[in-house]
């Protein structure tokens, strides 16, 4: 079923001033220093996943959730205001490909999957996402000694 995304977005954010798109002309590019098969890879998804027992996300939430890589998909829950989650409820891998990444780890395509995946919900404010949420995510990725990340935006 097609989603009238533009119209839905306009309705959802009608009470806010027009969005100021972020323009980034100097984002650093860092090539991988070693082959992917030797890297520890993290999964990052803005799909709004959390594990049963963790608090769900809330409106305007700039927190993130760490989901241990061994978590059974049946224990995942979703809170997200921006997409219909029926498909993700049936198969979280469509926006949170944890099973696929575990398979790649087992096959030796990636060196290792990070101990936890990272999930969050994007807010209307790029400033809050960058300045309030990102430092915590970066600290967690550094603590897990991640070499690369697969970002799955929703």
pLDDT tens digit string along 117-140? 999 998 878 888 889 999 999 999
The DSSP symbol for 130 reads: I
CB 40 within 8 Å of CB 9: no
pLDDT digits (tens, 9 = 90+) for 40-76: 999 999 999 999 899 999 988 999 999 999 999 999 9
Tens digit of each residue's pLDDT (9 = 90 or more) over 85-94: 788 888 899 8
Query: pTM of this prediction?
Result: 0.82
**What CA dihedral angle connects 136, 103, 112 and 61, to 10 degrees?**
0
Say if CB 83 and CB 96 are below 8 A apart.
no
For β-strands 116-119 and 65-68, DSSP reports them as: antiparallel
- Spans of all domains in the chain: 35-152
Which residue bears the tokens 């101990």? Answer: 115
Percent of the chain residues past pLDDT 70, beyond the cut: 97
DSSP state of 44: E
């Amino acid at each position: 079923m097609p989603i009238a995304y533009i119209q839905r977005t306009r309705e959802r954010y009608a009470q806010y001033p027009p969005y100021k798109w972020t323009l980034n002309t100097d984002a650093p590019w860092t090539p991988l220093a070693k082959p992917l098969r030797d890297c520890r890879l993290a999964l990052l998804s803005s799909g709004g996943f959390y594990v049963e027992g963790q608090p769900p996300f809330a409106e305007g939430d700039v927190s993130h959730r760490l989901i241990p890589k061994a978590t059974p998909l049946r224990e995942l829950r979703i809170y997200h205001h921006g997409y219909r989650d029926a498909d993700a409820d049936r198969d979280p891998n469509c926006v949170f490909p944890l099973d696929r990444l575990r398979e790649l780890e087992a096959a030796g395509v990636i060196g290792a999957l990070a101990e936890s995946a990272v999930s969050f919900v994007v807010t209307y404010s790029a400033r809050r996402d960058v300045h309030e949420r990102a430092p915590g995510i970066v600290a967690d990725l550094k603590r897990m000694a991640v070499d690369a990340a697969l970002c799955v935006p929703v």
